[in-house]
Amino acid sequence: MIGDPDAQFIGRRRALIEKIREQGILDLELLQLFDEVPRHRFLPEGVWNRAYEDAPVPIGYRQTASQPSLQARYLEVLAPTRDDTVLEIGTGSGYLTALLSRRADRVYSVERVRELSVRARAALDELEIRNVACMVGDGTIGWRKYAPFDVIVVSAAAPKVPQAYIDQLADGGRMLIPVGTRDSQRLMLIRKEGFAVTEEPLDDVTFVPLLGKFAFTEDDG
């Protein structure tokens, strides 16, 4: 069972949960996840003082750990279940990975930055989370070996939805991905039913860019 040996953070974590509730996330089981998974464990120790702010937090390598209420929104919309296999693009800190692991059967998480993947894996292992596989690589090509996926979670912004994600999404599957420019995106809910793919725009968001063969490149302005 996931626990928090650092009692100093318990009050801050409960305050964060209240902030998430204020954003309209009322599912008690979902909110319980944020009490079970200690966010500070997934962040560099130098920013532990910011771990329970409802805000993005820098984690190095020009990356951030996303705002917790936005991650709660992801979980609310996608509603992963214990029967679901999840593909996560952008492991980042590993915090959302851990939250997903509490809801899904298996999570396959791809991260471009090796150092972040290694750090996230260490945090997951420390908390004895065993149903997650991590890979370092180009997230824009997905992880075909374990497809199809019931849920695909993309934590970086793409100029369009990579075809690999559509191909690797299971029949009846759903995906959340920020789509737009480097500076401004719309969160898109993608559903696949047979050969039909639908797109539903949700919230305006701002994510770091998804870098790789089928998204932005380092040279893009």
Q: Which residues form the catalytic set?
A: 66
- List, for residues 22-63, the tens digit of each pLDDT value: 999 999 999 999 999 999 999 999 999 999 999 999 999 999
Residue 142 is classified by DSSP as -
Provide the 3-class DSSP secondary structure of residue 137: coil
> What pLDDT, in 10s, does the model give residues 61-101?
999 999 999 999 999 999 999 999 999 999 999 999 999 99
The pLDDT, as a whole number, for residue 17 is: 97
Rounded Cα distance, 188 and 86, in Å: 17
pLDDT-based confidence at residue 172 (cuts at 50, 70, 90): very high
Tell me the pLDDT band of 2, cut-offs 50, 70 and 90: low
Q: Which two tokens stand for residue 49?
A: 């003082």
Q: Alpha helices, DSSP H only, in the chain?
A: 10-22, 28-36, 68-78, 95-101, 114-126, 163-168
Which of 120, 115, 152 has its CA nearest to residue 133? 120
- Is pLDDT above 90 for 1? no
First to last CA, the chain: 45
At residue 140, φ and ψ (nearest 5 deg) are -70, -10
CA nearest to 71, candidates 84, 80, 83: 80
- Number of residues written out for the chain: 221
**How many angstroms separate the CA atoms of 156 and 179, rounded?**
9
Give residue-wise pLDDT tens across range 138-165: 999 999 999 999 999 999 999 999 999 9
Alpha carbons within 13 angstroms on the beta-carbon side of residue 128 total 5
Q: Dump the DSSP string for 65-104.
A: EPPHHHHHHHHHHH---TT-EEEEE--TTSHHHHHHHTTS
> Whole-model pTM above 0.85?
yes
